[in-house]
Structure 1
Amino acid sequence: MIIRRKSGYFVLSEKTRRNLGGPYKTKEEAKKRLRQVEFFKHFRK
């Protein structure tokens, strides 16, 4: 999930709310990171 805070956009885990990246200046940068996380979550299973 992507949330906005004062310092920028952050990518957080859906279940644990753990920080997976950020702060990013734009929402597009945060979306790119979220796609990377999803890719590696399903990579080589």
Structure 2
Amino acid sequence: MKKHLFTTLAVFGATVLAFFASTTAASACVWGVYQPTEPKLLREK
């Protein structure tokens, strides 16, 4: 019983953390937190 409960909690925790990480990473550009410099080859002259 303990092993099943631990496994369930571990899977649930990993799912929540993975969702939070992907949401934060995807929205970082929207917030303006991560703005990489544009490469010279892609800049308009």
What range describes the TM-score normalised by the shorter chain of this pair?
0.3 to 0.5
Normalising by structure 2, what TM-score?
A: 0.39
Q: Which has the higher contact order (CA 8 A, sep 6+)?
A: 1
Structure with the largest fraction of strand: 1
Structure with the largest fraction of helix: 2
